[in-house]
Amino acid sequence: ETGVTQSPTHLIKTRGQQVTLRCSSQSGHNTVSWYQQALGQGPQFIFQYYREEENGRGNFPPRFSGLQFPNYSSELNVNALELDDSALYLCASRPDRSSYNEQFFGPGTRLTVL
């Protein structure tokens, strides 16, 4: 148990729709990151938030956006869904002044785009 939860577990959407995925981190974990993991691949970094501000972004288009809230919850929003967006979406958090390499991942949300 990492103390990081995600909802929903599974989600099915159609192309062009919008989706919001949610993550709840441990108290005190002010850094949260989101990753996309395609089948058979390692997780790919989408973006990172620290104290409610985005402070890093991977190679993903602007239709991937996020929010972080003061209660250690966060959201990943994806607009105009494409078939290639089908993947496992993971959030990860860590407390301040901890090893950057030790992050706590949630179980993920499996998104299927039809």
Partner 1 sequence: LAKTTQPISMDSYEGQEVNITCSHNNIATNDYITWYQQFPSQGPRFIIQGYKTKVTNEVASLFIPADRKSSTLSLPRVSLSDTAVYYCLVGPLMDTGRRALTFGSGTRLQVQP
Of the candidates 84, 45, 82, the residue with the CA atom closest to the CA atom of residue 66: 45
Task: Give the interface segment with partner 1, choosing from 12-20, 66-74, 76-84, 104-112 (CB under 8 A).
Answer: 104-112
Residues contacting partner 1: total by CB under 8 A: 29
Is 104 a residue that touches partner 1 (CB under 8 A)? yes
Question: In the chain, helix, strand, coil percent, each to 5?
Answer: 5, 50, 45
The C-alpha atoms of residue 15 and residue 84 are separated, in whole angstroms, by 10
Within 10 angstroms of residue 83's Cβ, the number of other Cβ atoms is 10
Structure token pair of residue 38: 């395609």
Site residues (CB under 8 A) for partner 1, limited to 31-60: 33, 35, 40-45, 48, 55-58
Task: Give the interface segment with partner 1, choosing from 13-21, 65-73, 77-85, 87-95 (CB under 8 A).
Answer: 87-95
Nearer to partner 1, 17 or 98 (CB): 98
Is 72 a residue that touches partner 1 (CB under 8 A)? no
Of the candidates 98, 102, 76, the residue with the CA atom closest to the CA atom of residue 89: 76
Is 17 a residue that touches partner 1 (CB under 8 A)? no
Q: Which residues bind partner 1 (CB under 8 A)?
A: 2, 4, 33, 35, 40-45, 48, 55-58, 88, 90, 92, 99-108, 110
